[in-house]
Structure formats: structure tokens, C-alpha cells
Amino acid sequence: MSGATIDSLLLLGAVVLPFIGALAAGLLPTHARNAAAWLAGAVSLGAFLLLCTVYQAVTAGGVVRLELEWMPSLGLAFVLRADGLATVFGGLVTGMGALVVLYARYYMAAEDPVPRFFAFLLAFMGSMLGIVVSGNLVQIAFFWELTSLFSFLLIAYRHHIAAARDGARMALTVTAAGGLALFSGFLVLGHIAGGFDLDVVLGAGSQIHAHPLYPVALILILLGAFTKSAQFPFHFWLPQAMTAPTPVSAYLHSATLVKAGVFLMARLWPVLSGTDAWFWTVGTAGAITLLVGAYIAIFQHDLKGLLAYSTISHLGLITLLLGLDSELAMVAAIFHTLNHATFKASLFMAAGIIEHETGTRDIRRLSGLNRFMPFTARLALVAAAAMAGVPLLNGFLSKEMFFATALTADEPLPLGLKLLPVTAVVASAFSVTYSLRFIHGTFFGPDPTDVPSMPHEPPAWMRLPVELLVLACIMVGVLPAATIGPLLDVAARSVLGETTPEYSLVVWHGLTRPLVMSTIALALGVTLYLALQRHLRRGVEIVPFLGALSARRLFDRAMVFLSWRLARSIDRVFGTRRLQPQLRLVVCVALVLAAAAAFVRGVGPGNIAPSEVDPVLAIVWAIGASCALGAAVTAKLHRFAALVMLGGAGIVTCITFVWFSAPDLALTQLLVEIVTTVLLLLGLRWLPQRKDGAGAQRRPLIERVGRLRDFGIAATAGVGMAALAYAVMVRMPPELLAQHYLARAYTEGGGTNVVNVILVDFRGFDTLGEITVLCAVALTTYALLRRFRPAPESVQLPAQQLDQIALDAARPEPRRGRLVADWLLVPSLIGRLLFPAIGIFAVFLLLRGHDEPGGGFVAGLTASVAIIIQYMLMGTEWVEARVRVLPLRWMGGGLLFAAGTGIGAWFFGYPFLTSYFGYVRLPLVGEVPAASALLFDIGVFALVFGATVLMLIALAHQSVRGRRATPALDATAPSPRVAVGAATGDD
């Protein structure tokens, strides 16, 4: 906290007090009407008095500042900054708040939850004060949105009424959206000015004007200001918001909320104005709003609707003044803001009294109320006269100022047109007309016949705020220099500083041109009112000429478009729940992105010249490619064929490895290919069979086109991948890991088979982890399949077998059971013979693994291939009747062995898994590499073998169990001996 003076703390108190009050009021019970009202009144008055104290400090032209840490990393502090303008506005906000609280105490019905109302009102007051005295832009935006939020809650206070909800939602949508625009505008402005502190921004005027982003910031900020201050074309929310309780309208829609936009424009006037862009946007919006608002106001039948459009018009007037880029206009704008607040609030209150007493606000139904509530009528008459700009009242003075500036302002219009004075006169004539309509239509004429209740004077306390406000109108109107003079001076000086112009606050300037204009406007207004009598009496709802131009309808349409049509079409296009298009999208986007990257940057030639293509290898590759293609094409139609072709592609890969002198890699790859293919083959039976045959009938065109498209995508993606792989291969990377291994395989690992050395030595720890995982996978597979039964439709014997059985049965001497027994007779014989051979080969691979192609992993796979062949050719039962593999023991033993080898190193004083290498001469075999890694390799071998066989058994038992599920098919099958001790198929 820096530079905290008493004044700055008082200022903080003024901002915080309403929020505390709001919290307290919110906690009061629903029926605590008086307590809430007293609380709210006290808080408002308290805040007002605090601001009065601050005002003393500000009068000398000083600025009260308070800075608290907030978001230091952004360079944002919580800054309160009260100068003349802020204090005067703050006084307006709190003072008016106190009056409104008093008024609302008598206005609100007994059944309304009043504490909630006062809580919202106080919170709004706090937010409004926050805008006014904030010292940095982000903070202003923050409080700005808060006012939108609380005004939403206040407008929707009677949320059981549909119109109140709609009005509230529209107000929130428009002002909150504007607030976000304002927020981004502030971000841009802060970026330009180099900081968000208001003093920094206000000191960077020339920098801001010159910056290329100035128009962006201007437009965004003006969007915020215009939406809040109901400027054309964003004015439509204000009349809708008239569904709010009248105290809310009196407070928000005359004195505070709608003035926020105006205040902001005044606040930033020194840095944003002075350009053509400012003049045209602000000036035009203001002028149009001024005219259109006043014109529509004439034709309103709802008292509050009339006042709402009149407010729009007056806000347009203020905006226009701000747009004129003249210091005098600036003073007039501030002056009119204050005046408008007083007379409009009193009129709203009067309208509320009328509604409260008669039960209606419709001018068509009201008349002659002067006789029932004479005192209220006189008050309203004075206030309306101020609105119309009748001399000796405050509205007259600021209007005179407006006329004066309208006459003198530079208008960069072509042909030297002077539109402004004309606009001013016409608009103020309109204002005379609607003021007349308000007074004459309501208070004069015959007695009302059509009102819900017969009116009389309201309680004196309810009238008191109106009396005070009207008194202010008269006082300012008669003695301006003594009453409002100092306030206006302080406020204007805080914005304009040294350039504050000379202006005179007296009622009589002599017979000047503005006075003439006023007279003309008065006369015109009265004439217009008389001329419109017939039209108005007909009571039609439509505004002549402008009826079709309804911004509200545009808003509704836009909302429907955004919230319904656009959303639906986007949802339709992107919201598919089907997997296929989702996959397609992912692949396509990846393809496009990669292609775009390649095209933008360009793929130059590599730095390695490709060797020439060997025709034989090319043919092999062509075969492999066609296999892959065939697999893709038939994957859906014929899974078995697809799998076989996949195997073909795999074989080509192996051949390629051999071709490029990587036999170890080839061997590993080959075995992985074989095992996976077999496992997949076994797994095929769980997939449901396709119902429709391949290519049985012609598919509809759309499906064929779809397939063609998918083919295209797949082909493009495949070619793209291949091209990328090619691009990688023709480049020599800076430093290859492979060279690291190649260089050290023998010197540090004692082996020349690099893959094996990497597996068991350099990355021994990894391999230990991997085989552990393999163990877990095998166990999981087994656990999953243990209680699993194949799909019923896949249990049936194959069609060929059934045919053959039928054929056999038809023979004279049926040979039951021989069919399966004779099945694959020759291959099975060979398979049986191969069993020991493969076993020995596996051991051979294991032993030579360290230097030559081979190794524990490959050896394990090889050994398991021996078993797989037996299962495939002889059938599960036959194999398990003869061979007993105990995979769990193999796996466990292998794992222990491998880990033990690693631990063994500790006993020799080496870290875990350090390997020793040397050669041992065995009889018959000769010299054998005997790195300690060999022991590790044996563990790997045992584990891989065990794990593969375990999975195999789990799969193979499905066939047995499947048949058991339908015993009728093969009742003679003997129950298999179970190789693993676990229960099978007992589900």
C-alpha cells in the first residue's frame, strides 16, 4: 500500500461499503422490509458522505489515489483514483441511490422479497462506484461487467413475469457482450499506451493517436460505451428493460448505468477524441440516437416507454456533444449528464407513483389525474418542463449550451452544410412534444374511467425524493452558478485541465441565437403535439415511418440464427457420432497438415545419393506392397485372406532386412511376424462372422463412391508416409545413436550381434522390465480368456468339414471320426518330426546369440513355434495328451533367473546387471562366448517361451470349450487334460 492518505482510505471505504451492505442485506430474512431499507439508506448516505469528504480534497484540482497489490506479475495494481469527474459522478451515484432507496421502500409491494432487492441495488451501486473511481482500465472493465450482471438481476427481479425475464436477458446479452468488446479494446489500448494505469493512459494521448491500432481500440471501446449507453443501433434493450421495477428504472436507466458509457467516453476523451474517426463514429451515433430516440418517444403509450426513449435521446445528445471535439461541448456534456439525471429520475419516480396509485402506465387509459394527485402532478410538470428545456429550469441551461456549441462547432461536412443546428432544433422540438404528451396525457383532460384503482396522493415519504429532485431542477435552473457551478467546474477541469474554456452559467445571456433556437423549438414542439392529437388518440402501437426499422427484431433474428440455426448446422456437420467419419477426419487433417508443411517449406533433395535400385528387390517390394494393399482391401470382406497377406508383407520386410545385411534383425522380425500372425489367426474366431458375402451383389452407387473416397484417402496417406520415410532416409542426420552402439557393442558388451548386445547388456535393465511386462501380458491374456467362450456362431464346424461328414455318412460303410484324424496327415507327420529339430535350433540360437544372429528372445520364440506347430497340426487334445508344458514355471523360472543374474553381479562387487564376458571352450561345440549376459539370455529365453505358450494354451482351449458348449456337435471328443492347473471353462 503506497501513499495511503486518509482521503484515499475514505475512498476505499466508499467503494467497499455498498458491497458489505449488499452482503448484509442479502442475509436479512425475506420479510425484513424496514431493516433492509434502513440498511440500504444508511449505506448509500454513508458512501455519499464519504465521497463528500473526498470531494473536499479534490476541489483544489488534486487527485486522490490508492494503490493496492493485485496482480503484480501483470503490473496490475488495484487502483482507486478520484478526481473531479469521478467524485461528482460518484456523488451522483450514491446520492441518487439514497433517494431511490427511500422511494423503493414505499414502492415495493408487501409480497416482494425486499432485502434481496436492496442487496442487488447496493451491489450495483458499489459496482457503479467502482467504474467511476477505478484507476486502471482492467479494473474498469471488471466493474463494468459487474454492473451488467447486477442490472440483469435487478431487471429480472420480478422473474415470474416473462417480459421481465426477456428484458433482463436482452439487457445482459447486449451490455455484457459490449463489455467484452470494451475489455478487448482496453487490452489493445493498454498495449498501445504501455500500461493499464489510467494516469499512464491519459498521459499517452499523442502515442495513442499515432498508433496503427488506434482505430481498433477506438471501435472496441465505443462498442462497449454505446451498448451501455443505449446508443443507436444498440438502443433497443433499454425500452425492454422497462419491465424492471420503477425504482430500478429511476436509478439505472436515468442516472447511473446508462451514464456509464457516457462517463467512459468523457473519461477517455482527452486521449481518444480529436480525430476524424472519433468525430464520425461518436458524432453520428449521437446525432442519430438523439433524433430517433426523441421521435419514437412521441409515439409511446407506456409512460416508462416514453421516458426510456427520451432517455435514449438525451444520451444521444450527450454523446453528440462528446463527439464534437470541442472543450465547451465537453462541459455541456457533463452538465447535461447531471441535469438529465435529476429530472429523468424524478419523472421515472412520478411514473412509478402513477402506476402505484392507478395500476397502469398506459397514457391512453390515464387522464385528469391532476385532480386526484395535484401535488404529484405539479412536481411532474416541473420535471417535464425541465426535460423539454423550459427556461428557469436546469434542462434549459444545458440545452442552451448545446445550441451554442452546435452553432460554433466545426463540421467537416461537404458543401459547408450546417446540419447540427437543424438537428438540435428538431430534436428539442420533439422533446417538447413528448414532454407535453407525458404531462397533458396523464394529468389533464377528463377523469380517468378505465384505471384499475382510483388514485390519490402517495405517502409523503414516497414523494419526498421527487420533491428533492425537482427542487434541485429549479435551484440549478435559477441559480446555476451558486449551486452546480463549483461541481461542474471541478469535473470539467479534471478532464480538460488547462484547456478548460470560459463558459458562463447564467440564466440570461441576452437575446442570443441559442435563445431564438429555443423559442423556435418550443413553438415547433407545441405545434407538433397539437397536430398529432388525432393520430395519438387512435392509440396504434406502430411508430410512423420507423415501425419497420426495429433493431430489436434484428437482435432477435441474430440470436435465433446464432443460437439455433448456426449451432444446428455446425452440429450436423461436425457432430457425428459415427466412428468412421471421425477417423476419416483425423487422418485427413493430419495428411493435409503434413502436406501443407512439406509444400510450404519444400522438400529438397537429400544429402545422400540413393543407391541404384536392384530389380529383384524391386519385385520383392512390389509383392510386399500388393500384399499390404490386398490386406487393406480384403480386411473387411475376408479377414483370413487379409491376415495371410499381412504375413506376406511382413515376410517382405524380413527379406529387406536380409538384403541390407541385417540378418539378426530379419530373424527377430520373422519370428515376431510368425507368432503374431498365428495369434491373430487364433483370435479371428472371436470376431463375428460377416453376414453378407463378398461382392454378392452390386452395392448402391453412394456406397461405392464412399469406398472409392476411402481408398483414395488410404492410398494418399500411405504414399505420403512412404514419401516421408524416403525423405528421412536420403538424409544423413547429424549424429546417430546407432553409431554409438555399433562402436561399443564389442568393446563394452563383448558381442558382435548388436541387437542382442543392446538387449541384454546396454539396456539390460530395460530388457528385464520388458520381459516382466511380457509375463504380465501373458498372464492377463490367460486370465481374460479363462472364462471366455467363443461366439456361438463360430463354434460350428467349418462348412467343408460338415460337407465331408455328410458325404461320409452317406457312404455304405461310414468311418466315423476318421475325418479329423486323417486331417493334414502328411504335414502333421512332418511337424512331429520337426519338433526336436526346432528345439535344438532354439538352443543353438540361444547359445550363439551374443555374437551371431540369435539370442534369448529369438530362441524363446523359436521354441514356442515348435509347440505352436504341434497345436496347429495335431489339435489341442492330441498335444496335451502327450506334451506337458508348464508355462507358469518356465515364466517364473526365467524371470528369477534373469533377475538373479543381475543380482549376481552384486556378489562380485559390481552394480546390478554388470556383465562379464569371456569365452569358454566346450567339448564338441568348440569355443562358446560365455558372457554373463548368456545367463541373462537363458532367463529371457525361458520366459519368452513360457509366456508365448501360455497365451497359446489360453487361445487353444477356446476350441475345446467351444465344442463343449455345444456337445451335440462332437460328443465323442475326450475331455482334454489341462496343462495349466487353473480351472477352465467352468463359467
Dihedral pair phi/psi, residue 238, rounded to 5°: -65, -50
Q: Which is nearer to other proteins, 69 or 803 (CB)?
A: 69
Q: Note whether 413 binds other proteins by CB under 8 A.
A: no
User: What is the rounded CA–CA span in Å between residue 679 and residue 663?
Assistant: 24
Q: Note whether 138 binds other proteins by CB under 8 A.
A: yes
Q: Which is nearer to other proteins, 13 or 215 (CB)?
A: 215
Residue 884 grid coordinates: 506337458
Residues of this chain, 24-43, that bind other proteins according to CB under 8 A: none
| Minimum distance from residue 149 beta carbon to other proteins (Å) | 6
Residues of this chain, 305-344, that bind other proteins according to CB under 8 A: none
The interface region with other proteins, picked from 99-107, 139-147, 298-306, 792-800 by CB under 8 A, is: 139-147
Report which of 431, 408, 406, 410 is spatially closest to residue 420, judged by C-alpha positions.
406
User: What is the rounded CA–CA span in Å between residue 103 and residue 115?
Assistant: 15
Q: Note whether 474 binds other proteins by CB under 8 A.
A: no
**507, 391 contact by CB (below 8 A):** yes
Residue 269 grid coordinates: 476523451
Q: Note whether 579 binds other proteins by CB under 8 A.
A: yes
In this structure, what DSSP letter does residue 77 have? E
Q: Which is nearer to other proteins, 213 or 829 (CB)?
A: 213
Q: Which residue in 29, 72, 700, 974 binds other proteins (CB under 8 A)? A: 72
Q: Which residue in 532, 587, 886, 978 binds other proteins (CB under 8 A)? A: 587
Q: Note whether 629 binds other proteins by CB under 8 A.
A: no
Q: Note whether 568 binds other proteins by CB under 8 A.
A: yes
The interface region with other proteins, picked from 579-587, 686-694, 866-874, 947-955 by CB under 8 A, is: 579-587
User: What is the rounded CA–CA span in Å between residue 811 and residue 410?
Assistant: 117
Q: Which is nearer to other proteins, 245 or 323 (CB)?
A: 245
Query: How would you class 345 by CB atoms within 10 Å of its CB: exposed for 0-12, middle for 13-18, buried for 19 or more?
Result: buried
User: What is the rounded CA–CA span in Å between residue 522 and residue 105?
Assistant: 37
Residues of this chain, 180-199, that bind other proteins according to CB under 8 A: 180-181, 183-184, 187-188, 191
| Minimum distance from residue 180 beta carbon to other proteins (Å) | 5
The interface region with other proteins, picked from 27-35, 84-92, 909-917, 965-973 by CB under 8 A, is: 909-917
Residue 260 grid coordinates: 456509464
Tally of CB atoms within 10 A around 904: 17
In this structure, what DSSP letter does residue 325 have? -
Q: Which is nearer to other proteins, 139 or 337 (CB)?
A: 139
**350, 379 contact by CB (below 8 A):** yes
Q: Which is nearer to other proteins, 571 or 822 (CB)?
A: 571
| Minimum distance from residue 127 beta carbon to other proteins (Å) | 9
Q: Which helix (H) or strand (E) holds 78?
A: strand 76-82
**331, 421 contact by CB (below 8 A):** no
Residues of this chain, 213-252, that bind other proteins according to CB under 8 A: 213, 216
Residues of this chain, 720-739, that bind other proteins according to CB under 8 A: 721, 724, 727-728, 731, 733-737
Q: Note whether 142 binds other proteins by CB under 8 A.
A: yes
Q: Note whether 564 binds other proteins by CB under 8 A.
A: yes
| Minimum distance from residue 334 beta carbon to other proteins (Å) | 27
Q: Note whether 3 binds other proteins by CB under 8 A.
A: no
Q: Which residue in 27, 506, 530, 586 binds other proteins (CB under 8 A)? A: 586
Q: Note whether 914 binds other proteins by CB under 8 A.
A: yes
Q: Note whether 615 binds other proteins by CB under 8 A.
A: no
Dihedral pair phi/psi, residue 10, rounded to 5°: -60, -40
Q: Which is nearer to other proteins, 74 or 460 (CB)?
A: 74
Residue 606's identity, in one-letter code, is: G
Residue 7 CB-half CA count within 13 A:
19
| Minimum distance from residue 132 beta carbon to other proteins (Å) | 16
Structure-derived torsion over alpha carbons of residues 412, 417, 418, 419, reported in degrees to the nearest 10: -90
| Minimum distance from residue 625 beta carbon to other proteins (Å) | 19
For residue 954, is it left (φ>0), alpha (ψ between -120 and 50) or beta?
alpha
| Minimum distance from residue 734 beta carbon to other proteins (Å) | 5
Judged by CB under 8 A, the number of residues near other proteins is 75
User: What is the rounded CA–CA span in Å between residue 120 and residue 251?
Assistant: 12
| Minimum distance from residue 721 beta carbon to other proteins (Å) | 7
Q: Note whether 141 binds other proteins by CB under 8 A.
A: yes
The interface region with other proteins, picked from 4-12, 174-182, 400-408, 864-872 by CB under 8 A, is: 174-182
Q: Which is nearer to other proteins, 223 or 349 (CB)?
A: 223
Q: Which residue in 31, 159, 509, 815 binds other proteins (CB under 8 A)? A: 159
Q: Which is nearer to other proteins, 568 or 815 (CB)?
A: 568
Residue the block writes with cell 442516472? 255
The interface region with other proteins, picked from 171-179, 686-694, 889-897, 944-952 by CB under 8 A, is: 171-179
**167, 242 contact by CB (below 8 A):** yes
Q: Which is nearer to other proteins, 516 or 562 (CB)?
A: 562
The interface region with other proteins, picked from 33-41, 305-313, 571-579, 886-894 by CB under 8 A, is: 571-579
Report which of 432, 500, 558, 731 is spatially closest to residue 174, judged by C-alpha positions.
558
Q: Which is nearer to other proteins, 74 or 419 (CB)?
A: 74
Q: Which residue in 210, 502, 534, 577 binds other proteins (CB under 8 A)? A: 577
Residues of this chain, 853-892, that bind other proteins according to CB under 8 A: none
| Minimum distance from residue 692 beta carbon to other proteins (Å) | 23
**857, 668 contact by CB (below 8 A):** yes
Q: Which residue in 128, 132, 172, 473 binds other proteins (CB under 8 A)? A: 172
For residue 750, is it left (φ>0), alpha (ψ between -120 and 50) or beta?
left
Q: Note whether 662 binds other proteins by CB under 8 A.
A: no
Tally of CB atoms within 10 A around 694: 10
| DSSP codes, 956-969 | HHHHHHHHHHSTTT
**46, 126 contact by CB (below 8 A):** no
Tally of CB atoms within 10 A around 449: 8
Q: Which residue in 6, 23, 27, 74 binds other proteins (CB under 8 A)? A: 74
Report which of 983, 982, 790, 974 is spatially closest to residue 875, judged by C-alpha positions.
974
Q: Which residue in 20, 56, 62, 69 binds other proteins (CB under 8 A)? A: 69
For residue 120, is it left (φ>0), alpha (ψ between -120 and 50) or beta?
alpha
Q: Which residue in 570, 684, 773, 825 binds other proteins (CB under 8 A)? A: 570
User: What is the rounded CA–CA span in Å between residue 36 and residue 848?
Assistant: 94
| Minimum distance from residue 708 beta carbon to other proteins (Å) | 22
User: What is the rounded CA–CA span in Å between residue 173 and residue 397?
Assistant: 36
Residue 202's identity, in one-letter code, is: L
Q: Note whether 919 binds other proteins by CB under 8 A.
A: no
Q: Note whether 462 binds other proteins by CB under 8 A.
A: no
| Minimum distance from residue 603 beta carbon to other proteins (Å) | 5
Dihedral pair phi/psi, residue 723, rounded to 5°: -65, -40
Structure-derived torsion over alpha carbons of residues 15, 18, 22, 28, reported in degrees to the nearest 10: 140
Q: Note whether 149 binds other proteins by CB under 8 A.
A: yes
Q: Note whether 585 binds other proteins by CB under 8 A.
A: yes
Q: Which is nearer to other proteins, 566 or 715 (CB)?
A: 566
Q: Compose the 595-614 pattern: x for residues touching other proteins by CB under 8 A, - for all others.
A: --xx--xxxx----------
**452, 360 contact by CB (below 8 A):** yes
User: What is the rounded CA–CA span in Å between residue 560 and residue 567?
Assistant: 10
